Amino acid sequence: MSERLVVIAPNWLGDAVMALPALADIRRHYPVAHLAVAARPPVAPIYTMVTGVDQVITLPGGGGLRAWTGWPEDVRALEAGSFGTAILFPNSYGSARIAAKANIRERWGYASDMRGGLLTRALPKPHGDLHQRAYYQALTKALGIPEGPPYASIRPDGAHARQLLRDVGLDLDEPFVVFAPGAAYGRAKQWLPERYAELADLIINERGWSVLMVGANVDRSACDDITRRLPQTGTRINRLIDFCGKSDLPVLAGILGEAHAVVSNDSGAMHLAGAVGAKVVAVFGPTREKQTSPLPAGSDAPAPVVITHDVFCRPCMLRECPIDHRCMRRITAREVLQAI
């Protein structure tokens, strides 16, 4: 293929990362095509850090209900690229609609959300409980694209991140651990703040390392809760540093890449950490680790460690625990420390 090809990306950070192996397969299969990725503003910066992507298009229209009113903006953004083929990773009707309205001749994706008539190649969704990475690669494989390795690789420019870390007093010659205590899905996915505080105390006082908390502005309350619970211990050099809300996506990727390890709930930050090659210790509670566990960045990258505690009610997939949050409560700080 020598034409212009656009991949419409998933809307969530974690899904965007788990789609990277399929994107890499497309790049290998069409080595001379102009490969663009069209994505929503929250995830578009990822693709500026992915090798082989020629162009990143930001779709301003919005997802969810906003997609029904903002779609003309998305159409204009796609039309400007004069693409001949679109591969749709999202299952939504809206993603097929904007590709069709943008006059993209070939539109390939899963036949879902009553959109089969808008696709020129509408493929049946695979059966079984696949990892989300495998779900995206099943699509590209069905399109005749050979399946490559299950790695998600992002290459951030770490210079700015390193300077920011020095500015907050971190000695980059010494190990530090990053905490990503937030989770967009709901509080049930969040390991308890008191466990994070206990773990920070152990890292600071037993390992002699610093801990850096990261997250978006919506994670502010989780980070504040951990800070309040942490005993006033440590030294000027080894301490808890709250960096929540102070980094955009490229800077966050750079910070995660500098860490000795990243401790995270099942979240977008967890997937981003794996993709930059960090050692990830992922705490899973109500969600299905077999479907959304983090991917390594490559064959030589640290294998992610997933920690769970099996109880009768997990995985429940609930946003709020209706009982005592036992799937998370029974995971101890010492258990996570041993995995770091």
Is residue 132 domain-shared with residue 244, that is, in the same domain?
A: no
Q: Tell me the pLDDT tens digit for each residue of 134-146.
A: 999 999 999 999 9
Indicate whether 149 belongs to any domain.
no
pLDDT of residue 134: 98
Indicate whether 34 belongs to any domain.
yes
Is residue 121 domain-shared with residue 168, that is, in the same domain?
A: no
Is residue 264 domain-shared with residue 319, that is, in the same domain?
A: yes
Residue 235 has pLDDT above 70, yes or no: no
Percent over 70 (pLDDT), the chain: 95
Q: Tell me the pLDDT tens digit for each residue of 34-62.
A: 999 999 999 999 999 999 999 999 999 77
Asked which of 115, 142, 169 is the last residue of a domain, the reply is 142
Indicate whether 150 belongs to any domain.
no
Residue 149 has pLDDT above 80, yes or no: yes
Is residue 102 domain-shared with residue 224, that is, in the same domain?
A: no
Is residue 137 domain-shared with residue 169, that is, in the same domain?
A: no
Is residue 322 domain-shared with residue 181, that is, in the same domain?
A: yes
Is residue 80 domain-shared with residue 119, that is, in the same domain?
A: yes
Is residue 54 domain-shared with residue 186, that is, in the same domain?
A: no
Residue 150 has pLDDT above 80, yes or no: yes
**Structural domain span for residue 227:** 159-339
pLDDT of residue 299: 96
Residue 34 in contact with residue 104, Cβ under 8 Å?
no
Which pTM value belongs to this model?
0.94
pLDDT of residue 65: 65
The CATH number of the domain holding residue 25 is 3.40.50.2000
In angstroms, the CA 270 to CA 293 distance is 9
Residue 238 has pLDDT above 80, yes or no: no
Q: Tell me the pLDDT tens digit for each residue of 69-113.
A: 788 999 999 999 999 999 999 999 999 999 999 999 999 999 998
Residue 184 has pLDDT above 80, yes or no: no
Kindly state the average pLDDT of the residues 9-20.
Answer: 97
Is residue 324 domain-shared with residue 184, that is, in the same domain?
A: yes
Least confident of 21-30, 189-198, 235-244: 235-244
3-state secondary structure 111-137: CCCCCHHHCCEEECCCCCCCCHHHHHH
Average pLDDT, the chain: 93
Q: Domain tally for the chain?
A: 2
Is residue 178 domain-shared with residue 274, that is, in the same domain?
A: yes
Indicate whether 163 belongs to any domain.
yes
Where do the H-state alpha helices sit in the chain?
13-18, 20-29, 44-47, 67-79, 93-101, 132-142, 159-167, 193-202, 220-229, 249-258, 268-275, 289-292, 326-329, 333-339
pLDDT of residue 70: 81
Is residue 267 domain-shared with residue 326, that is, in the same domain?
A: yes
Indicate whether 256 belongs to any domain.
yes
Residue 63 has pLDDT above 70, yes or no: no
Is residue 98 domain-shared with residue 194, that is, in the same domain?
A: no
Least confident of 23-32, 142-151, 253-262, 318-327: 318-327
Indicate whether 109 belongs to any domain.
yes
For residue 186, the Cα-to-chain-centroid distance in whole angstroms is 16
For residue 158, the Cα-to-chain-centroid distance in whole angstroms is 18
pLDDT of residue 2: 53
Indicate whether 228 belongs to any domain.
yes
